[in-house]
């Protein structure tokens, strides 16, 4: 029997595979460990809140107009309304995705439907490139720094067929925060027919006073899409829900490539509670700040190079290749994220977890790092 040879095989093989953080169950199963600590996917260990859980329980119990047997509200009207209220925008400025990853995919699909390119800084979230290549777009990777956004490199990389520019605010995995001036230069300096996608998955971890929120530029630029997620500070990664903020015209175009019912009912009702809970955000932000300071102090004791400004993660540079350090830590029951696939062969990214999880990390990593950071 001839082997199955799907069309576009070569094209498909060139698309990098997304390698997610290893699930705890998988490490337990593979290594026969009892206690496993996951610091690999930038989840918030302090939630979800009791209010979210109570709302989920009610939704599962069901009523006449909600229940697991009914389709969800396809366009997520009520959640969009709650997000719009929180962000000081109107409901037409809000689009939901099955995680913000899905909105990145929708944006790539819509913009690169008939070809074109996307500018993506080096060491950016892998889905930007994967989504671009999946729809046949070209990736224009620009040189990037571990400490600041290289706006000149981004502007210089733009070509006549460029339709998208991706930028993390802060960037994952480097934690670089572009700041207001860099955002303003891109908002004003990019051609009008390019959509600037500013990914703010970790925005809520920043001090609201000092944070340069790209939403402030929505009135100035039609071609601007700002992304947020419920997977990080809101602690709802398992429910898969994120949102995009943009002009009604841009979002109506994205609506054409949105799958019907792309966010499920449980995700919508949980996120509707979460987006209003500013006290939980502030609590998580405080815990993250403490965790960051403690991590940097501990890294200093081991004379390790740490990088990262924003988000709920940091990167450690080690003399060991990232993959080896990752494997050694796995054997000791700690999951981190090796960064060789992000062009950083000696870096691992570590999510800031609860203090007891960070203790477990340092007990496992300390002796390995003392051999040379
Ligand atoms: C920068 C960035 N953007 C987007 C996402 C996607 O989040 P989700 O699809 O869970 O909303 C992540 C997740 O790790 C991320 O780090």
Nearest CA to ligand 1 atom 2: 201
- Give the pairing type, strands 195-199 and 162-168: parallel
- Which pLDDT value is given to residue 373? 65
Task: Tell me if 60 sits within 8 A of 189, measured CB to CB.
Answer: no
How many Å apart are CA 25 and CA 333, to the nearest integer?
Answer: 11
**Quick one: DSSP state of residue 231?**
S
> Is 168 a pocket residue for ligand 1 (Cβ < 6 Å)?
yes
- Which pLDDT value is given to residue 371? 63
CATH code that applies to domain 50-277: 3.40.640.10
- Calculate how far, in angstroms, residue 101's C-alpha sits from the geometric centre of ligand 1: 6
- Which pLDDT value is given to residue 8? 73
> Is 121 a pocket residue for ligand 1 (Cβ < 6 Å)?
no
Q: Which residue ranges make up each domain of the chain? A: 9-48+279-369, 50-277
- Calculate how far, in angstroms, residue 198's C-alpha sits from the geometric centre of ligand 1: 12
First to last CA, the chain: 54
- Which pLDDT value is given to residue 224? 98
- Which pLDDT value is given to residue 7? 73
Query: pLDDT digit string (tens) for 155-212?
Result: 999 999 999 999 999 999 999 999 999 999 999 999 999 999 999 999 999 999 999 9
> Is 229 a pocket residue for ligand 1 (Cβ < 6 Å)?
yes
- Which pLDDT value is given to residue 12? 87
Instruction: Write the CB contacts of 371 (distance below 8 Å, at least 6 apart in sequence).
Output: 319, 320
Nearest to 96 by CA among 202, 242, 272, 236: 242
Task: Tell me if 197 sits within 8 A of 171, measured CB to CB.
Answer: no
> Is 42 a pocket residue for ligand 1 (Cβ < 6 Å)?
yes
Chain-centre distance for alpha carbon 291: 20
Cite the DSSP H helix spans in 32-117. Answer: 50-61, 77-87, 100-111
- Calculate how far, in angstroms, residue 372's C-alpha sits from the geometric centre of ligand 1: 32
- Which pLDDT value is given to residue 113? 92
Task: Tell me if 21 sits within 8 A of 41, measured CB to CB.
Answer: yes
- Calculate how far, in angstroms, residue 126's C-alpha sits from the geometric centre of ligand 1: 10
pLDDT by 10-residue block (mean), the chain, 373 residues: 72 89 92 94 98 98 92 97 98 98 98 96 98 97 95 98 98 98 98 98 97 98 98 98 98 97 98 98 98 97 94 96 96 96 96 98 93 63
Angle at 298 between CA 296 and CA 303, to 5 degrees: 85
Mutate to test the pocket of ligand 1, among 79, 99, 226 (most ligand atoms within 8 A of CB): 99
Task: Tell me if 246 sits within 8 A of 226, measured CB to CB.
Answer: yes
Nearest to 294 by CA among 277, 314, 279: 314
CATH code that applies to domain 9-48+279-369: 3.90.1150.10
Task: Tell me if 97 sits within 8 A of 244, measured CB to CB.
Answer: yes
Both tokens of 228, joined, read 């947020």
How many Å apart are CA 48 and CA 274, to the nearest integer?
Answer: 8
Count of CB atoms situated within 10 Å of the CB of 251: 19
- Calculate how far, in angstroms, residue 229's C-alpha sits from the geometric centre of ligand 1: 7
Mutate to test the pocket of ligand 1, among 149, 171, 172 (most ligand atoms within 8 A of CB): 172
Mutate to test the pocket of ligand 1, among 127, 130, 226, 230 (most ligand atoms within 8 A of CB): 127
> Is 280 a pocket residue for ligand 1 (Cβ < 6 Å)?
no
- Calculate how far, in angstroms, residue 201's C-alpha sits from the geometric centre of ligand 1: 6
- Which pLDDT value is given to residue 4? 67
């Amino acid at each position: 029997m001839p082997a199955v040879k799907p069309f576009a095989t070569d094209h498909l093989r060139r698309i990098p595979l997304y390698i997610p953080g290893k699930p705890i169950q998988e490490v337990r199963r593979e290594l026969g460990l009892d206690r496993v600590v996951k610091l690999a996917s930038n989840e918030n260990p302090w939630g979800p809140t009791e209010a979210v859980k109570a709302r989920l329980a009610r939704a599962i119990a069901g009523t006449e107009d909600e229940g697991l047997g009914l389709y969800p509200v396809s366009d997520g009207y009520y959640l969009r309304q709650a997000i719009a209220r929180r962000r000081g925008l109107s409901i037409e400025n809000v689009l939901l995705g099955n995680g913000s990853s899905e909105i990145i995919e929708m944006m790539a699909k819509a913009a690169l439907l008939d070809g074109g390119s996307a500018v993506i800084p080096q060491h950016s979230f892998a889905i930007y490139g994967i989504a671009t290549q999946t729809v046949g777009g070209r990736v224009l990777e620009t040189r990037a720094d571990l400490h600041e956004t290289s706006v000149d490199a981004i502007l210089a990389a733009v070509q006549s067929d460029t339709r998208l520019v991706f930028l993390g605010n802060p960037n994952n995995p480097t934690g670089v925060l572009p700041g207001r001036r860099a955002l303003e230069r891109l908002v004003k300096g990019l051609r009008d027919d390019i959509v600037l996608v500013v990914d703010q998955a970790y925005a809520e971890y920043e001090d609201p006073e000092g944070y340069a929120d790209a939403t402030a530029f929505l009135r100035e630029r039609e071609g601007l899409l700002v992304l947020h997620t419920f997977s990080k500070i809101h602690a709802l990664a398992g429910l898969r829900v994120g949102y995009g903020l943009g002009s009604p015209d841009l979002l109506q175009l994205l609506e054409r490539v949105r799958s019907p019912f792309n966010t499920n009912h449980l995700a919508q009702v949980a996120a509707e509670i979460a987006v209003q809970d500013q006290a939980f955000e502030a609590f998580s932000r405080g815990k993250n700040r403490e965790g960051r300071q403690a991590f940097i102090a501990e890294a200093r004791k081991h004379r390790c190079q740490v990088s990262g400004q924003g988000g709920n993660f940091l990167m450690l540079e080690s003399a060991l290749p990232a993959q080896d350090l990752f494997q050694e830590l796995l054997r000791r029951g700690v999951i981190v994220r090796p960064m060789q696939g992000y062009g950083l062969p000696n870096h691992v990214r570590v999510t800031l977890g609860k203090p007891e999880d960070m203790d477990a990390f340092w007990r496992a990593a300390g002796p390995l790092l003392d051999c040379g950071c």
